[in-house]
Amino acid sequence: MGVVLLLVGLIVSRVGDNVAVFGLVLDAAHRPEPWAVALVYLAGMLPPALLAKWLGRQADRLDPRRTWLACLVVQAATFTLAGVVNDFPLRVLAVAVGATMGTLGGSVGFKLLNATAGEDRVSWVNGVATASNSLSNIIGPALGGLVYAVAGSTPLLLGDGLSFLVLAGIAVATTPPVPRPRRKGPGDPLVLTPLLRLLAPVMAAIILGVCLEGVAGIFYLREVLHGNDIAYGLLLACWPVGSLAGALLTGRRRFAAHRPLLLLLGGLTCALGILLAGAIPFAPAIAAAFVLGGLGNGTVSTTVRLLIHEQVPETQQGQAWARWSGVANACSLVAYFAGTPWGELPPQAIVIISGAFPTAVAVVGLILFARRRTPVLSTP
């Protein structure tokens, strides 16, 4: 029962995060500065990427339970203050602080969630945890848009602050004490084993490629849909629907022996979804491609969580989670900048490249994985 309550708390908190950022993006879109929207996203991704290594070390050094609660309280206070004080720069700063605390709190929360679940339910719990992200991506924009239209971003920020307090209360009631690591593990936790040394760079390259369409895709979809905002929102919702299914399917224990293969196939599926969406400028085809890409996205997200749990020693799991989050954020930032249609290259061409490049990387990764002679799964 405890782990179910904890998962409910995570869903509430993630929906709160989603609606708050959605509200701030809409605030930014109404400002005269053309870079305001980019600033909101930059605030949420750059500080965690730069501080990932240090945050990971703290996650493995400090008491997990107290650290998570402290992070949640700081996030609650930050977004409550941002809701009370209607100042755009302060609210952008709140996003940066919240994202940084989220990386640290997420790293220790990852360990606490697994400890609360117990080894028998780790696969299922991580699948549901990933699915909660997808669910929040479906609920968040719809709820955020409705509230914003009536009352602006202030109630969204205050609601986000409250959601962190809800999760903190549930965490106090449900999570068991987890001892601090007694020793520091050697080396970078993302490359401890031959398996991780193969998978980490391949997946980083796939993320870099897939995220190239992040900015160009907006222009491309609006062009295909002739500026229809409702159709645009419905198309975007297809991705988290697929991701929800991928996360829940991958969380089944029967796939435990095939996680590395699932990770690479998930990356390939995600890339193919982008490629097909760019190659066929027809709304129903794009919707189907987004469901396919989302399916791969959910598979990747769940499998990464489980591989870190299984392949990285407990003394370094917080560091591994923070480092991976930092790598993903850094790749996304580079891709968003590189994928912005600055010159003559049309948005559709950028979307096609965004699908073709990671498709090729995933195929190469599958070939390299097939040629490996070491065991599929190894314990460091």
Q: Where are the domains of the chain?
A: 1-180, 188-380
Q: How many CB atoms lie within 10 A of CB 197?
A: 13
Distance between CA atoms of residues 354 and 339, nearest Å: 8
Kindly compute the dihedral angle of the four CA atoms of residues 48, 354, 136, 73, in this order, to the nearest 10 degrees: 0
Query: Which sign does the torsion angle of CA 19, 23, 29, 34 carry?
Result: negative
Q: Same CATH topology for 1-180 and 188-380? A: yes
DSSP state for residue 192 in the 8-state scheme = S
Count Cβ atoms within 10 A of the Cβ of residue 335 and give its class: 0-12 exposed, 13-18 middle, 19 or more buried: buried
| pLDDT score recorded for residue 379 | 45
- For 5-41, how does the pLDDT look when each residue is reduced to its tens digit (9 = 90+)? 999 999 999 999 989 988 998 898 888 887 888 889 8
- Hunting for tokens 């730069």 — which residue is that? 50
Apex CA 326: angle with CA 323 and CA 329, to 5°?
A: 155
DSSP state for residue 313 in the 8-state scheme = -
- For 198-248, how does the pLDDT look when each residue is reduced to its tens digit (9 = 90+)? 888 899 999 999 998 887 888 899 899 987 877 887 888 899 999 999 999
CATH code of the region 1-180? 1.20.1250.20
Spans of the chain, pLDDT less than 70: 180-192, 373-380
DSSP state for residue 211 in the 8-state scheme = T
Distance between CA atoms of residues 255 and 113, nearest Å: 20
Distance between CA atoms of residues 155 and 19, nearest Å: 10
Q: Residue 25 has which token pair?
A: 């993006």
| pLDDT score recorded for residue 337 | 84
Distance between CA atoms of residues 306 and 124, nearest Å: 10
Distance between CA atoms of residues 333 and 214, nearest Å: 10
Name the nearest CA neighbour of 167 among 371, 15, 379, 324. 15
Name the nearest CA neighbour of 238 among 175, 284, 174. 284
14: amino acid identity, one letter: R
How many CA atoms are closer than 13 Å to the CA of 101, on its beta-carbon side? 21
Say yes or no: domain 188-380 is CATH 1.20.1250.20.
yes
